[in-house]
Amino acid sequence: MENAKILIVDDEPSIVKMLQMVLRKEGFNQVYTAGNCKEALEAISAHGADIVLLDVMLPDGSGFDLCPKIRAYGSPHILFLTAKASDLDVLTGFAMGGDDYVTKPFNPLEIAARIKARLRRTGLGGVPAETEPVVAGRVWDYGRFVLDETAGELRVLGRPVQCPALVFSLLLYFCKHPGIVFSKSQLYEAVWGIDGIGEDNTVMVHIRRIRERIEEDPSHPKLLVTVRGLGYKLVKENA
């Protein structure tokens, strides 16, 4: 974990100090900070980042607007820290390129747990990635779409479709367990890597992002369907 680079972007000194203290106690030695958008871009340009903890309301702009600018410097995992928790705010955060969000006030140990889970699952920052035995031919064909795990590619009606990492991972999880109903908390724990209690919005947004890619009509899905009161499952169309 000592190789993982973490950038904290927040203008509240008490929050920054608390996160720095906890993250260093948890073994993260490369923790950088910025108090506004300008400083954040300077820091990530100078040091890079594997994880960015990004406040939404900053003195010189919005974290939502800053998010795509950070993406120009690479592909860090961006976790929004925000007091704004409405559905619209959450949707905006993910639409701008965020990967996850936590509402204020929060437990800094939860942030550390989320960071560790992300690093374990991706191998970022020198942390060995969680792996499974390699199996040839990991291609899932659902007719309308094909997911190629080895190539990391989603094709819809024969054409490659851009798919962010967490959207791909969630769809891959469904493909590996066809016809099985999963609750939102089960999906969050499986894909994001930690207890998913209270993370309904995160999962719902990513379900929508999958449907926008694979469904003919995302508002009336036939592949990734909702099982009322239980969760979601992936099925063959007309199955």
Is the bond leading into 218 cis (omega within 30 degrees of zero)? no
b/e per residue, 1-16, with b = 16+ CB within 10 A?
Answer: beebbbbbbbeeeebb
Counting every residue written for the chain, the total comes to 239
Give the phi and the psi of residue 225 in degrees, each rounded to 5: -105, 155
The structural domains of the chain, with segments of one domain joined by +, span: 5-126, 139-234
What's the pLDDT tens digit per position in 19-65? 999 999 999 999 999 999 999 999 999 999 999 999 999 999 999 99
Residue listed under structure tokens 């998010």: 67
Q: How confident is the model at residue 83 (pLDDT cuts 50, 70, 90)?
A: confident
8 A C-beta contact, residue 66 and residue 39: no
pLDDT in tens, 132-166: 444 445 898 998 999 998 888 999 999 999 988 88
In the chain, % of residues over pLDDT 90: 50
Q: What is the model's pLDDT at position 236?
A: 81
For the structural domain made of 139-234, what CATH number should be given? 1.10.10.10
pLDDT (average), residues 203-214? 92
For residue 65, count other CB atoms closer than 10 A to its CB.
12
Q: Mean pLDDT score of the chain, rounded to an integer?
A: 85
CATH of domain 5-126: 3.40.50.2300
pTM of the model: 0.64
Alpha carbon 226 to its chain's center: 21
